[in-house]
Amino acid sequence: MRLTTQDVGWNRSSKPIIEGITLDVQPGETLGLIGPNGSGKSTLLRLMAGLLRRPRGQVFLDGQPTETLSRREMAQRIAFVEQLAETSEALTVRDVVELGRTPWLSALSPFGPQDEAIVNEVLDAVGMAQMIDHSWDTLSGGERQRVHIARALAQRPQLLLLDEPTNHLDIHYQLSLLRLVSTLDVTVVMALHDLNQAMTCDRLAVMDNGRLIICGAPADVLTPERLASVFRVRATPLHDPTDNSTILRFHSIEDELI
Amino acid sequence: MRSAAATVRANGETARVLLRTLLVRGVPAVAVLLLAIIAGVIIGEMPISARTVGMVLANNLWGAGYPVDPIDAGIIWSYRLPRTLVAAACGAGLALSGVVLQSLVRNALADPYLLGVSAGASTGAVAVTILGIGGGMIGISAGAFVGATLAFVLVALLARAAGGGSAQLVLAGIAGSQLFNALTSFFIAKSANAEQARGIMFWLLGNLSGVRWPDVWLAAPAAVFGLLTAMWFMRAMDAFTFGSSSAASLGINVRRVQAMLIGATTLMTATMVSLVGSIGFVGLVIPHAMRFVVGPRHARLIPASALAGALFLIAADVTSRMLIPGQVVPIGVVTALVGAPAFALILIRNRKRT
Ligand SMILES: Nc1ncnc2c1ncn2[C@@H]1O[C@H](COP(=O)(O)OP(=O)(O)O)[C@@H](O)[C@H]1O
Ligand SMILES: [Mg+2]
């Protein structure tokens, strides 16, 4: 599914939080959203998901303006994994993932065998199948994150919005999540803070201070000048001969002034 | 995505599953409720045999024409039965209100009594009774509904202004309850004569003594309406588990669902309060207990809480009649005697979790 935002922005009590963002994400593409803390990544994702009141500009899904879609139709197309979604209810892993089927269910088509099959399949995909009956309050942060991702996948979305999905995950699951995301046949927009992980995206969009600075291929975007001006780091590119890739090693700019 | 044929097949399958669930769970639930109602009619200060009760019911329901003592018949049919039925309806309604509010505000301590909704309903009802706005039974219920809505809106706004946390909501509820209770006292002090005042004070504590058949025709539909509304929105209530923004991203029209559910809750609470006064803790304790028994999913939690609430209030009513010989203790006192310690337990448990 193609996602287009046209000059979108959002104010928090008349103070602009994000402003003038125009993006075009192709079907099947994985777009990484990077930028310092507070640069507006989460806000942009919430706006794309249609969760913000009175946004400026327009968001299109396959050319259709999202304001013409009902909440339910939105949820049948877009799944969103927020940062920090918590509960104190003693739900099981199964219960949480079943929530993902909500936009497809109604009084006339209640939860059925196919829904059950989807739930099992996505739990397998995130490696949580064996913990299906575990209670939410007994899960670690990383396990909760994986369950949230399974819940999002259970929505069978065409667009997946992920807000720092690798937070809380150990290195194994960070990599397996990124691989899972890249193999999915859906369009993905995800906020990331690890720039080396961001390098694995098809394209990167850099946010700073509520604005989109640039959007392009990782190598074109993560130039030394930009890393210095936006992220306030100096990077040394290192070569990894095992897969012929480049990784970045960072140094704080403040360190060098000493 | 589902193909049309698969949907039809799945629907046939789920229809069977639903029917089976209804038979396996629904029939025993109704049977238990009927037994409890009959027990509520049999047990009382003046002992009446189950046989007499059966005969009176048969006489009234299908004109069986058994010979029974007219005094027994009167006590059973005009006094104990409507009273027990209203207790069941109120218990179910208050427990349902608790389930709904706890889901919407994501706070285990939400309940119509703690959030000041009951106090608002009392104020509305008293305003109508004493100040003579409107009049008749429907008038009192309408007044209670206006009061309950006002109280809820006020408490919600106050909680939001205070920062929107769990503790803020409970504190706002306390402030709201105090305010509306003070208003009620003010109305009574200003306009009621001594006899009216005594009657109202007794009713405020929760009292089923004056309940007659017309009250049943108000309470029972309110409870059924609340049950159906809650069941209709059970998936939406599940979706609120991770907050309203998560519910929205799962396709729930948050505003609409909140408005419908809060409307239904205030309507139920207002109806119950206008009939029997404000009975505390049912909406808090019953859903909590039921979460232990059937888990947090609303497909089970809603019917289980409705049933348990009904049973609890029937038992509380019997207790209130039997506790002190020759005297009726307000039912709100009985529920508070059970509910306050349970509330303390919930508080302690909640602290451990967070
Ligand atoms: N609901 C809100 N209320 C007040 N400030 C907000 C709100 N949402 C976002 N902000 C502010 O907007 C800025 C961008 O936030 P956010 O989108 O969360 O950034 P990021 O995800 O890139 O760290 C921050 O300065 C944050 O404080
Ligand atoms: Mg963020």
Residues of B in contact with A150 (CB under 8 A): none
pLDDT (0 to 100) of residue B133: 65
A149: CA distance to ligand 2 center in Å? 17
**CB-based contact (8 Å) between B297 and chain A?**
yes
**Cβ count within 10 A of residue A223:** 12
Residues A216 and A228 in one domain: no
A230 and A204 together in one domain:
no
Whole-number pLDDT of residue B282: 92
Candidates B6, B18, B296; nearest CB to A89: B296
What is the band of B230 on the pLDDT scale with cuts at 50, 70, 90?
very high
Q: Which of B314, B309, B343 is nearest to B100 (CA)?
A: B309
Domain shared by A77 and A37, yes or no: yes
The rounded Å distance from CA A210 to ligand 2 centre is 12
Mean pLDDT highest for which of A84-93, A111-120, A178-187? A111-120
Contacts of B353 in chain A (CB under 8 A): 88, 137
Q: What is the pLDDT of residues B46-56, one digit of tens each?
A: 888 889 999 99
Residues A150 and A237 in one domain: no
Average pLDDT over residues B169-174: 89
| pLDDT exceeds 50 at position B92 | yes
Euclidean distance between CA atoms B41 and B84, whole angstroms = 7
Establish if B321 belongs to a structural domain: yes
Listing DSSP states for A220-246 in one string gives: HHS-HHHHHHHS-EEEEEEEETTTTEE
Residue A241 pLDDT more than 90?
Answer: no
CB burial of B230-240 (b: ≥16 within 10 Å; e: otherwise) equals bbebbbbbbbb
Domain hosting A49: range is 3-222
CA distances from residue A197 to A194, A246, B194, B280 in whole angstroms, order as listed: 5, 12, 77, 55
Q: Residue B187 belongs to a domain with what CATH number? A: 1.10.3470.10
In angstroms, the CA A117 to CA A124 distance is: 11
Asked if A174 contacts A4 with a C-beta cutoff of 8 angstroms, the reply is no
Give this complex's ipTM: 0.89
Q: Are A126 and A180 in contact (CB under 8 A)?
A: yes
According to the model, what pLDDT value does residue B4 have?
Answer: 54
Pairing label, strands A56-61, A30-34: unpaired
Whether the pLDDT of residue A27 is over 90: the answer is yes
Average pLDDT, stretch B227-238?
A: 94
> Are A100 and A176 members of one domain?
yes
- Model confidence pLDDT, tens digit, residues B4-21: 555 555 566 667 777 787
Q: Which residues line ligand 1 (CB under 6 A)?
A: A 12, 17, 35, 37-43
Asked if residue B190 belongs to a domain, the reply is yes
Quick check: A109 contacting B, CB < 8 Å?
A: yes
**Mean pLDDT across A139-162:** 93
Query: Rounded CA gap, B164 and A53, in Å?
Result: 18
From ligand 1's centre to the CA of B107, what distance in Å?
25
Check whether A201 has a pLDDT greater than 80. Answer: yes
Higher pLDDT, B228 or A255: B228
- pLDDT at position A28 is 92
The pLDDT score that the predictor gives to residue B350 is: 67
- Specify whether A212 is located in the same domain as A176: yes
In a domain, B62, yes or no: no
Residue A64 β-bridge partners: A61
Residue B1 has a pLDDT of 46
Of A71, A95, A110, the CB nearest to B252: A71
Provide the 3-class DSSP secondary structure of residue A30: strand
Does the beta-carbon distance from B238 to A102 stay under 8 Å?
Answer: yes
What local confidence, expressed as pLDDT, does residue B354 receive? Answer: 45
Whether residue A7 is predicted with pLDDT greater than 50 in this model: the reply is: yes
The pLDDT, as a whole number, for residue B305 is 97
| pLDDT, average across residues B244-269 | 93
Mapping DSSP to helix (H, G, I), strand (E, B) and coil, where does residue A138 land?
helix
- Would an 8 Å CB–CB cutoff place A108 in contact with chain B? yes
Q: Tell whether A90 lies on the interface with B, counting CB pairs under 8 A.
A: yes
Average pLDDT over chain B reads 87
Cβ separation of B353 and A88 shorter than 8 Å? Answer: yes
- pLDDT value for B26: 84
B109 touches chain A (CB under 8 A): no
Q: Which domain holds residue B197?
A: 85-353
Q: pTM score > 0.80 for this model?
A: yes
Q: What is d(CA B223, CA B99) in angstroms, rounded to the nearest whole number?
A: 13
A90 and B350: CB-CB below 8 Å? Answer: no
Pick the residue whose CA is nearest to atom 16 on ligand 1.
A40
In terms of domains, do A230 and A255 share one?
A: yes
How far apart CA A182 and CA A179 sit, in angstroms, is 5
Query: Are A137 and A257 in the same domain?
Result: no
> Which tens digits make up the pLDDT trace of B98-153?
999 999 888 878 888 888 999 999 999 888 887 776 555 568 888 889 999 999 99
The reply to whether B65 falls in a domain is no
Beta strands across the sheet bearing A78-81: A78-81, A159-163, A187-191, A30-34, A203-208, A211-216
Q: Report yes or no on B153 lying in a domain.
A: yes
Cβ of residue B1 closer than 8 Å to a chain A Cβ: yes
Question: Which ligand is nearest the CA of A18, by number?
Answer: 1
Closest CA to A245 of A207, A217, A219, A216: A219
Looking at the CA of A207, name the nearest ligand: 1
pLDDT of residue A249: 85
Specify the number of domains making up chain A. 2
| Domains in chain B, number | 1
Share the mean pLDDT of chain A. 90
Could you give the percent of chain A with pLDDT greater than 90? 62
Residue with tokens 């059950």: A116
Average pLDDT over residues A79-89: 87
Instruction: Return the pLDDT at B7.
Output: 55
